[in-house]
Amino acid sequence: MVTARYDVTIRHQRHSPVSYGLATAGETWLVDLDDLPQLPRGFGRLAGFRSADHLGDPSRSLRENLDAWLAEAGVERPARVTMLAQPRVLGYVFDPLTIFALYDGDGVRTGVVAEVRNTYGGRHCYLLHPDARGQAEVDKAFYVSPFNPVDGHYTIRVPEPGDALTVVVTLHRPDEAPFTATMTGTRAANASLWRSLLRPWRTRGVTAAIHWHGIRLYLQGLRPHPRGEHA
């Protein structure tokens, strides 16, 4: 597999209790967990993919941590795993959604692990089995936006990336779908980590946008739901 970088637009659309949308530019990478891109020796701390930014033990590799999580879930070790995520750039990364795709020895995608993070430092993984359209359903089990309680279920659409990339997450409750998040983009010609260093504000911009729009939603009358056990 060839490492790929995507220039993306991330959109959030709330439909209730208020109608509100946001859009921000960013980038995400498609990488092989057994062959992660790296900068030359001596420059690795400037940009790269770190196990400490994802599930498991920071002292182990990303692949080792994912394999351990899958084993606990009763899933055989996949022959290959790709990851759709942002790199850490100049010491910072915030990746709200990381997608791990699992492949068997024939190159067939057998499942997906969706790792969700919130701005409180929490992290949760969902094991998905997408259908032929790349879509799966799973009950919501993690506190993400403070303006949404932990209820309902998600439909998550994750077609395999090519020249174009599309990820769609929709929250459903009885008789309504109050929230949809999308990440869409195109494959960039340059897939060097040096490129990410030229635009370090992109990953910080995601965090800034979350907080800025959170303030605007608060001013529109929304109030946070308590985290409770999900803290």
Q: Whole-angstrom Cα distance, residue 75 to residue 202?
A: 35
Per-residue pLDDT at 91: 86
> Which DSSP state fits 33?
T
Task: Taking residues 32-50, report their average pLDDT.
Answer: 89
What phi and psi, each to the nearest 5 degrees, are found at residue 202?
Answer: -65, -45
Q: Could you give the percent of the chain with pLDDT greater than 70?
A: 96
Q: Is the pLDDT of residue 120 over 60?
A: yes
- The pair of structure tokens assigned to 105 is 């020895």
Q: Please report, for the chain, the start and end positions of each structural domain, with discontinuous segments joined by +.
A: 4-222
Across the range 52-70, mean pLDDT stands at 96
pTM for the complete prediction? 0.89
Q: How far apart are CA 60 and CA 7, in angstroms?
A: 29
The pLDDT tens digits of the residues spanning 202-225 come to 677 777 777 777 888 888 887 778
Contacting residues for 228 by C-beta, under 8 A, at least 6 apart: none
Q: Kindly list the distances between the CA atom of residue 67 and the CA atoms of 23, 33, 103, 107, 108, in Å, as whole numbers in the listed order.
A: 34, 11, 13, 17, 18
Q: Looking at residues 134-160, what average pLDDT do you find?
A: 90
**Stronger pLDDT, 157 or 223, i.e. the higher one:** 157
Confidence of residue 26 (pLDDT cuts 50, 70, 90): confident
What pLDDT shows up at residue 128?
A: 97
Helix (H) or strand (E) holding 14: strand 4-14
Burial class (CB in 10 A: 0-12, 13-18, 19+), 122: middle
Q: pLDDT band at residue 181, thresholds of 50, 70 and 90?
A: very high
Residue 227 pLDDT exceeds 80: no
pLDDT of residue 168: 97
**Which pLDDT does position 113 carry in this prediction?**
98
Q: Find all residues with CB under 8 Å of 112, minimum gap 6, and list them.
A: 99, 100, 101, 102, 127, 128, 129, 130, 136, 156, 158
**Predicted pLDDT of residue 193:** 84
DSSP secondary structure of 154-181: EEEE-PPPSSEEEEEEEEEETTEEEEEE
Q: Is the pLDDT of residue 24 over 80?
A: yes
Residue 137 confidence (pLDDT) above 60: yes
Give the position of tokens 């020249």: 163
